[in-house]
Structure 1
Amino acid sequence: MTRTVLFATDLSAENRAAFARALRLAYADGAQLDIIHVLDPYLPRRVFHDVEAAVVDDIAATLNDIREDYALEAPQTLIQTVAGAPYVEIIREAHERQAGLVVVGMHRKRGQKDLLMGATSMRILRSAPCPVVVASQPPTQPWQSILVPIDFSLTARHSLREALQRFPDASLTLLHAWRLPGERELGSHPYYAQWRDHEVARLREQLSREIDSLMSELAGVPDVELVLEHGAPCEVLGGYIKRHTPDLVVIGSRDQPHHASELTAMLLSEPHCDVMLCRV
């Protein structure tokens, strides 16, 4: 069965980077690229077919422009319109096409977290049957520097597995945020620093065993670097991204249909890089 990358476009200029990234991903994976646009179901019937034809022509023209701008090869493509509520139709199409990946654009202004939470992209992230890429950066090259936040959860193990399998040629950094009890009360105690260093070393060893166990189950995995930083997960992840500017962050999620994690909301309200969310 042919693998499918589903790209959902709203025809906006801000969607252009995501369009180009979807093209690059589909071609690199040997997958078919299905491009869909969701039309307003309340359009007058007498103009519906004219609008549909104009949308398809616009997408085809944009496809050719992007291929020339980024010197991208064309995968097998299918352009189609559907009518309905955007996030409902995109999720339905992802199920029906058995998509291996959904790509959407990010065009909210930085910091607009409240608006983002109700956006189509967030609703897709909560319900998609496969990983979702929210692309906002110009895809001048394949993702090379990939950041994967990890802990000991099954969610983190799932996202790490996805990253290892999908990006065997990339450089993966695995980031763990740590905190220890008693830091405020005991930080000045002469033995606390020694105990802290011992605990962090033990934590690194445990994480390394988890990572090695997972990598032993896979073939052709990339090299990885494990980084431990002190602090709360959001603070550590946000600071690392600003300092090192990775191409992509791959994050796992158990988000419920009407709730997004603090990490997910932070990443999408401050889009310094592309994001791939892998729901368990």
Structure 2
Amino acid sequence: MSRTLLFACDLSAENRAAFARAIRLANETGARLDVVHVLDPYLPRRVLHDLEEAVVADIAATLTDIREDYALAEPANLIQTVAGAPYAEIIREAHEREADMIILGAHRKRGQPDLVTGTTLARVLRGAPCPVLSVSHPATQSWQDILVPVDFSLTCRRTLRETLKRFPESRLTLLHAWNIPGERELGSSSDYARWRDREVATLRRHLEQETEQLMGELERVPEVELELEQGDPLDVLLTRLRRQPPQLLALGSRGQLGRQSQITERLLAEPHCDVMLCRSW
């Protein structure tokens, strides 16, 4: 069965980076690119008909412009419009087309996490049947540097599997943040330090075994590096993104890192890189 990427196009200038990434991914994976724009269902029928033709023509022209700007080949594509609530129609189209991935532009209200919750992007993330890409950076090259926060959850395993499967030529950095009890009170004790080092070594072995097991189930795997950092998972990740942002962050949509809603809102409001969110089931 052929693969399908679903790109939700809102015709905005900010959406151009996401459109370029969608075209690049379609070419790299051999997938068909379905471009969908959601129209206001309350417009008069005659207006909707005329607007549909204009929107399709505009999207086709934009596709050509972006291909020329980025020197990209034209993938197999289908451009359509639908009428309804944007987030509901995007999710419905993804189900009906059995899309492998949904691609959206980044949240426009930069630096305002409290405004993310009710956006189309946030609602699609909550109901999408497949991974969702939030794109904010120009698609000048393929993603080579991917950061994956990891723990021992089912969500983490699925996210890592999706990333390994979809980007076998990339470099993956697996970031695990850990908090060991007693560090503040006993950190200066040599006995505690030896116990802590044993715990960290055990943790690293467990993570390496988890990763090797997943990699053994796939035919092609990328270069993988494991990083352990002490601290609150949310703080560790945000510090890492500010200090050394990857080209892509792969994150589970639920259950990851304990405070998922907080971290998702922060990442969508202040995108340090493109973000792929994967469902937990």
By the TM > 0.5 criterion, same fold?
A: yes
Q: Counterparts of 1:84-233 in structure 2 under 5 Å?
A: 84-233=84-233
Amino acid in structure 1 at the alignment position of 2:60 = A
Q: Kindly report which structure 2 residues correspond to 1:36-51, keeping only aligned pairs within 5 A, or say none.
A: 36-51=36-51
Letter in 2 for 1:273: C
Give the distance between the partners of 2:231 and 2:111, measured in 1 at CA: 22
* Counterpart residue identity of residue 67, structure 1: R
CA distance in 1, matches of 2:99, 2:130: 7
Distance 1:107 1:138 in 2: 15
- The answer to whether the aligner puts 1:265 opposite 2:265 as a matched pair is yes
Q: How far is the alpha carbon of 1:260 from its aligned partner?
A: 5.4
Between the aligned partners of 2:250 and 2:170, the Cα distance in structure 1 is 13
CA RMSD of aligned residues (A): 1.3
Aligned partner letter, 2:138: P
| Secondary structure in structure 1 of the residue aligned to 2:25 | helix
- Secondary structure of the 2:52 match is helix
SS at match of 1:152: coil
* Structure 2 SS opposite 1:130: coil
TM-score by length of 1: 0.96
- Name the amino acid aligned to 1:39: L
Structure 2 alignment gaps of length 5 or more? none
Mapped to 1, the partners of 2:242 and 2:260 lie a distance apart of 22
**Counterpart of 2:174 in structure 1: which amino acid?**
L
Give the CA deviation at 1:75: 0.5
Gaps of 5+ in 1: none
- Give the deviation of 1:198 after TM superposition: 1.8
Structure 1 pair 13–107 and aligned structure 2 pair: CA distance change class (3 A): farther
1:108/1:116 contact within 8 Å kept: no
Q: Provide the residue aligned with 2:62 in structure 1.
A: 62
What CA deviation, in whole Å up to 9, does each residue of 1:221-270 have, x standing for no partner? Answer: 11200000111111111111122221000111226xxx953322222121
- Segments of 4+ moved more than 6 angstroms: none
Match of 1:32 in 2: 32
Q: Is the contact between residue 103 and residue 135 of structure 2 (CA under 8 Å) also seen in structure 1? A: yes
> CA-to-partner distance for each residue in 1:125-183, whole Å, 9 max, x for gaps?
11110000000000000000000000011110100001111111000000000110112
What is the identity, as a one-letter code, of the residue corresponding to 2:14? E
Query: Offset at 1:47?
Result: 1.4
> In percent, how many aligned pairs have the same letter?
66
Deviates more, 1:192-201 or 1:79-88: 192-201
The answer on whether the counterparts of 1:14 and 1:107 sit within 8 Å (CA) in structure 2 is: no
Partner AA of 1:235 in structure 2: D
Task: Give the partner amino acid of 2:32.
Answer: Q
Contact 2:125 2:253 in 1 (8 A): no
